């Protein structure tokens, strides 16, 4: 095992993950839709926001502890739901959930995960996790999926609203993305350069969509599974479906994919517990604003009625602090955790969380605060946000 103390930033983990993870799965995680302008803006717009450095303030006794929908968190960060996580590293969702549990932050499992709800429950015990739900045309399957989430000790359902249809993801098309990879010459050549990944995959039985295989009607093999997922995302999704899911679930509900003030008002009126300002990591509507740019107007509109969180472009603890300063009660990280996972498995995820926490803690102190609960837009340089 490498000395992870020498890994000092998320970019270090990204470089190693790119070397270790097969191209089609690395590209799946580290890419956006169409021209990737929104994907790039998510990250670069954070850099435009400047911080006010304060001096001669007591920096002792700092705390980054907070809450997200009433759950105590070590820092206002949760692991976002990401599809195919178990293809970045064998048993990836299990490893991510373990790291999150140990660190004291929430983990969110995707509907399109490789490890199943039951797999995560088996490895997290009584520690609750969150589950991200895609609305499928097969409502019977959705009802059973919600009941499985309940049985697995899921404490909050995260309903994704921005994937009724799939964005233009050119790299996935060029790479012929599939789970597991098809045995083409190009794939075999690439896999031959990823021995660590291959050994991990040989040691696990989890290589396809664990929440779907064996649970969805008519899905008997991998080819029909692929057809089913392509056909099942529901383009007719509406706020009536949100109400149906809220009643069926009955627990904490988070709405993911809000980028517009009007939609934010509808989300608040729905009775959900939180909304996530998110453009799906720049993977859906290319040309949409960055999440951090969309955040302030949404906070102003509904921040007093519903918890507002954000994801997209967070690569450091400074980014978390800036989001908090602009009114986000919580943040979620996707790629930052996937880079750690692809690089070093569970230890890599832990290292990513350590890096983000340290940057958050130190930057907060330099800005004159010792408690994350007291941070507001006063830490930001006027005119830069």
d(CA 167, CA 64): 36
3-class DSSP assignment, residue 380: strand
pLDDT at 323: 98
Q: For residue range 130-181, what is the model confidence (pLDDT) as tens digits?
A: 999 999 999 999 999 999 999 999 999 999 999 999 899 999 999 999 888 9
Q: Check: CB of residue 75 under 8 Å from CB of residue 106.
A: no
Q: For residue range 315-344, what is the model confidence (pLDDT) as tens digits?
A: 999 999 999 999 999 999 999 999 999 999
89, 127, 280, 369: the catalytic one is 280
Peptide bond into 180 cis (omega under 30): yes
pLDDT at 220: 75
Q: Edge-to-edge strand order for the sheet containing 154-160?
A: 77-79, 330-333, 307-311, 274-277, 252-258, 154-160, 129-133, 108-109
> Is-catalytic flag, 357?
no
Average pLDDT over residues 188-197: 97
d(CA 344, CA 6): 13
| pLDDT for residue 1 is more than 70 | no
- Binding annotation: 28, 81-83, 110, 132, 134, 160, 169, 256, 278, 280, 283, 311-315, 334-335
Average pLDDT over residues 94-113: 97
pTM > 0.75: yes or no: yes
d(CA 248, CA 157): 11
| pLDDT for residue 2 is more than 90 | no
Name every residue whose Cβ is closer than 8 Å to that of residue 178 and which is 6 or more positions away in sequence. Answer: 24, 226
Q: Check: CB of residue 226 under 8 Å from CB of residue 178.
A: yes
| pLDDT for residue 272 is more than 90 | yes
Average pLDDT over residues 237-247: 97
Q: For residue range 196-225, what is the model confidence (pLDDT) as tens digits?
A: 999 999 999 999 999 999 999 888 777 776
- The fold adopted by the segment(s) 4-379 is TIM Barrel (3.20.20)
Mean pLDDT for all residues in the chain = 96
pLDDT at 282: 98
Extents of the domains making up the chain: 4-379
Locate all alpha helices (DSSP H) within the chain, ordered by sequence.
10-20, 23-29, 37-48, 92-103, 117-124, 139-151, 170-175, 185-191, 195-202, 222-232, 239-249, 261-269, 291-302, 317-325, 335-366
pLDDT at 241: 96
d(CA 44, CA 65): 27
Which residue did the predictor score with more confidence, 49 or 233?
A: 49
Q: HSE on the CB side for 199, CA within 13 Å?
A: 6
């Amino acid at each position: 095992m490498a000395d992870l103390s020498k890994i000092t930033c998320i970019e270090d983990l990204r470089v190693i993950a790119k070397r270790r993870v097969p191209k089609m799965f690395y590209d799946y995680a580290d890419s956006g839709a169409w021209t990737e302008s929104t994907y790039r803006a998510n990250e670069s717009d954070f850099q435009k926001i400047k911080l006010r450095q304060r001096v001669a303030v007591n920096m002792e006794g700092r705390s980054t502890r907070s809450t997200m929908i009433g759950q105590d968190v070590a820092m206002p960060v949760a692991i976002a739901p990401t599809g195919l996580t178990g293809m970045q590293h064998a048993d990836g969702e299990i490893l991510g959930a373990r790291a999150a549990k140990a660190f004291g932050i929430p983990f969110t499992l995707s509907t399109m995960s490789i490890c199943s709800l039951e797999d995560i429950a088996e490895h997290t015990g009584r520690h609750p996790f969150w589950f991200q739900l895609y609305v499928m045309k097969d409502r019977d399957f959705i009802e059973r999926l919600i009941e499985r989430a309940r049985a697995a000790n899921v404490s909050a359902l995260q309903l994704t609203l921005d994937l009724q249809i799939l964005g233009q993801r050119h790299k996935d098309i060029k790479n012929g993305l599939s789970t597991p990879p098809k045995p083409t010459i190009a794939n075999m050549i690439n896999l031959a350069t990823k021995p660590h990944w291959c050994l991990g995959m040989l040691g696990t039985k989890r290589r396809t969509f664990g929440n779907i295989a064996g649970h969805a009607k008519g899905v008997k093999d991998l080819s029909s599974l692929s057809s089913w997922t392509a056909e099942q995302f529901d383009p007719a999704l509406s706020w009536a479906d949100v109400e149906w899911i809220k009643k069926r679930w009955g627990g904490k509900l988070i709405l993911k994919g809000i980028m517009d003030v009007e939609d934010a008002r509808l989300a608040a009126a729905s009775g959900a517990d939180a909304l996530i300002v998110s453009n799906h990591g720049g993977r859906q509507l290319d040309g949409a604003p960055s999440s951090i740019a969309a955040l302030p107007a949404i906070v102003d509109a509904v921040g007093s009625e519903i918890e507002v969180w954000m994801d997209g472009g967070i690569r450091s603890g400074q980014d978390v602090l800036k989001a908090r300063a602009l009114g986000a009660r919580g943040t979620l990280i996707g790629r930052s955790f996937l880079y750690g996972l692809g690089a070093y498995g569970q230890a890599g995820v832990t290292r990513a969380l350590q890096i983000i926490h340290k940057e958050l803690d130190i930057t907060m102190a330099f800005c004159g605060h010792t408690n994350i609960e007291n941070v507001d837009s006063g830490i930001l340089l006027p005119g830069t946000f």
